[in-house]
Structure 1
Amino acid sequence: MAERKDKKKVIGEPMTDEQIKVFLDFSSEEGVDADFHVLEKAYRALRAEDFGRFIGFFQTQGRDINARDPQGRTLLTHIDDHPKCSDYAQLLRDAGGTGPD
């Protein structure tokens, strides 16, 4: 999977809690940590403010903010050096996310 160097700005109304919670139910592919999968899906689809709300729902379920992809990287590791993702990276850090080891 190719890493994206920037994130497009999404314009529109904030999502409802129910719309955001849908991302908690995505099934992962074999060999991909389920928590990493839903974090990545939510990151790619949600605006920063909605992603912050998603993280709250995610952690309420006791899920792992530091879940790793098959290569052993957290989502924060993936996005930390992308300038246009700084809001997302800070939300992950605020939630206890860790970056490169």
Structure 2
Amino acid sequence: MKKDKEKVLDEVWTEDRVREFLASEPKAGTDADFHALLKAYQSMRADDFELFIGMFLETNRNLNATDKAGRTVLSYAKEHRNSGEHVAALEAKGAL
């Protein structure tokens, strides 16, 4: 069988594409700021994520928003071994 989709590596992200993550819709009961930030963290390379954080903060969003368990995106990122640049971007902008 033929695969439906090819894996895309080193995809170029435009500012508009990065900005789209600001409108991510969360499931009911999930903090919208936490959801958007987590989706961006999971989807973007560090430099694109850093750009997203700037856009996120410009729209007065909460960098320290939490999930239902009280965890921030920074706490999740710190658990991943290859997330050093993402963690640094979050901390540089004041994430706790």
Bucket of the pairwise TM-score, normalised by the shorter protein: 0.7 to 0.9
TM norm structure 1: 0.83
Please, which runs of 5 or more residues in structure 1 have no aligned partner?
A: 1-9
Cα shift at 1:39: 0.3
Q: Deviations over 1:20-71 (max 9, x none)?
A: 0000001111111000000000011111000000000000000000000110
CA contact (8 A) 1:21 1:54 kept: yes
1:34 match: 32
Q: What displacement does 1:15 show?
A: 1.1
Partner of 1:45: 43
Question: Is this contact kept in 2: 1:14–1:50, CA < 8 A?
Answer: no
1:16-35 equivalence runs, <5 A? 16-35=14-33
Match of 2:54 in 1: 56
Separation of aligned partners in 2, 1:81 and 1:34: 22
The share of aligned pairs that are identical, in percent, is 38
Task: State the secondary structure of the residue aligned to 1:84.
Answer: coil
Per the alignment, in what secondary structure is the counterpart of residue 83 of structure 2? helix
Please name the residue that 1:81 is paired with: 79
Query: C-alpha root-mean-square deviation of aligned residues, in Å?
Result: 1.2
Q: Amino acid of the residue matched to residue 69 of structure 2?
A: Q
Q: How many residues align?
A: 89
Tell me the TM-score normalized by structure 2: 0.87
Q: Aligned residue for 1:72?
A: 70
Any gaps of 5 or more consecutive residues in structure 2?
A: 1-7
Partner of 2:12: 14
